[in-house]
Amino acid sequence: MYLAVLTRRRHVVFLVVLVLLRIRITHPGNVQPGIGPEPEGHPCAGRPRANATLLMLARNSDLEGAISSVKQMEGRFNKHCNYPWAFLNEEPFTEEFIGNMTRLTKSSVSFGQIPREHWFQPDWVDEDLARAGRDKMVEQEIIYAGSVPYVTFFFHQPLLQDYRYYWRPDIEYFCDMPYDPFYFMQEKDKIYGFTISFYEWEPTIPTLWSSVKEFIAEHPHYLAEDNAMAYLSDDGGATYNLCHFWSNFEIADMDFWRGEAYQAFFDFLERKGGFYYERWGDAPVHSIAVALFAPKDKLHFFTDVGYRHQPFEHCPQSDDWAQNKCACDKAESIDWRPQSCIPRFQRLFS
């Protein structure tokens, strides 16, 4: 048994190593990552896989959506590549959930339980002050403002320690994947891949950028040469333009999250309390970190991946739309709408 724990945070959760039930299911005779066989001509055929997993955070009540997401990912990509799946939940997964997930894939599948008592904010947080902050955001009609949300500090989770890369295959995929994005990340030495980028709601992060600037002033050595500051700021870092990568879709290198720069950055932000008294989320925190602490050429916009997480979607605009048998409407793509930060990202390389 491996057992691990994620402490509930306001959008970001610390991991505490505890005893947490882990179930791994490997179908007898199944094709395991890196072994084959695969259809001749598919990019996954005849070579080892990257050290990677498909990761889903789900409750038992999410069964219908999880079935849809896994079916789409298997049909569009993983039936050819057989990457393992990892599922994390705050409760024990039901036999119904486990049975449905394992019948949808030939890959190995792991299930981890996160104890409920570790999903709450730490004792040092002033709950009256935190509640006042949530109430203020409710008055501003900010979505989910009344809850104490979380996002797992999953890269320290024992269930994932054997892996370097992860892909969160959440919600809807519109296009076939004619290549292995994990292998692409590995071969091109990328650390972070995304499909959607837009502006954060400023009322949720009023003091985040001032904290970022304070961290940079204390630790300038963490700034990468040729970083993507121009994506985050229009005035050389004096102010934050609110651009971030939407973390509902991420393909990323967990070695970066586990590294010294990000760990120091996260610990610094944690001490500021903004995850609790404001609503600092994993999306702006991840985005700021990869944009500042890695060279900009380590970031990748997956233009050829059709993806939707309501209310936004990215639909390929080039010949990829037809070649990859995409089922999305090009006109619905967020890329060139006023709230999109894609033009800012692309100007980094022009």
Please give the structure tokens belonging to residue 303: 């233009």
Lowest mean pLDDT among 80-94, 111-125, 197-211, 246-260: 111-125
Q: How many CB atoms lie within 10 A of CB 337?
A: 11
pLDDT digits (tens, 9 = 90+) for 91-121: 899 999 999 999 999 999 999 887 665 566 7
User: What is the structure's pLDDT at 295?
Assistant: 98
The answer to whether the bond into 316 is cis (omega within 30° of 0) is no
Model pTM score: 0.84
Instruction: Give me the mean pLDDT over the 152-163 stretch.
Output: 78
User: What is the structure's pLDDT at 327?
Assistant: 86
Q: 56-70, 152-166, 319-333 — which one is most confidently predicted on average?
A: 56-70
Mean pLDDT of the chain: 83
User: What is the structure's pLDDT at 27?
Assistant: 46
Active site residue 225: no
Phi, psi of 19 (to 5 degrees): -90, 115
d(CA 343, CA 318): 16
Looking at per-residue pLDDT, the higher value among 234 and 16 belongs to 234
User: What is the structure's pLDDT at 23?
Assistant: 63
Catalytic-labelled residue, pool 74, 90, 200, 250:
250
User: What is the structure's pLDDT at 177?
Assistant: 86
d(CA 258, CA 92): 27
pLDDT digits (tens, 9 = 90+) for 42-78: 778 777 889 999 999 889 999 999 999 999 999 888 9
pLDDT confidence bin for 216, thresholds 50/70/90: very high
User: What is the structure's pLDDT at 4?
Assistant: 33
pLDDT digits (tens, 9 = 90+) for 169-200: 777 778 888 889 999 999 999 999 999 999 99
Please give the structure tokens belonging to residue 284: 């702006």
pLDDT confidence bin for 18, thresholds 50/70/90: very low
Q: 177-191, 192-206, 286-300, 318-332 — which one is most confidently predicted on average?
A: 286-300
H/E stretch holding 33: none
pLDDT confidence bin for 151, thresholds 50/70/90: very low
pLDDT at 37 over 90: no
pLDDT at 40 over 70: no
Report yes or no: 49 and 182 within 8 Å, Cβ to Cβ: yes
Task: Mark 104-121 as b/e (b = at least 16 C-beta within 10 Å).
Answer: bbbbbbbbbbbbeebbeb
pLDDT confidence bin for 22, thresholds 50/70/90: low
pLDDT confidence bin for 20, thresholds 50/70/90: very low
User: What is the structure's pLDDT at 118?
Assistant: 54
What letter would DSSP give residue 65?
H
Separation in Å, CA 150 to CA 10, 51, 266, 267:
5, 27, 15, 16
pLDDT confidence bin for 10, thresholds 50/70/90: very low
Residues 70-73: contacts with CB under 8 Å, at least 24 apart = 70/101, 70/104, 70/105, 70/169, 71/104, 72/169, 72/172, 72/173, 73/169, 73/173
pLDDT confidence bin for 124, thresholds 50/70/90: confident
294: left (phi over 0), alpha (psi -120 to 50) or beta: beta
User: What is the structure's pLDDT at 148?
Assistant: 60
Residues above pLDDT 90, as percent of the chain: 48
pLDDT confidence bin for 275, thresholds 50/70/90: confident
Q: Which domains does the chain have, with CATH numbers?
A: 5-347 (3.90.550.10)
Report yes or no: 224 and 284 within 8 Å, Cβ to Cβ: no
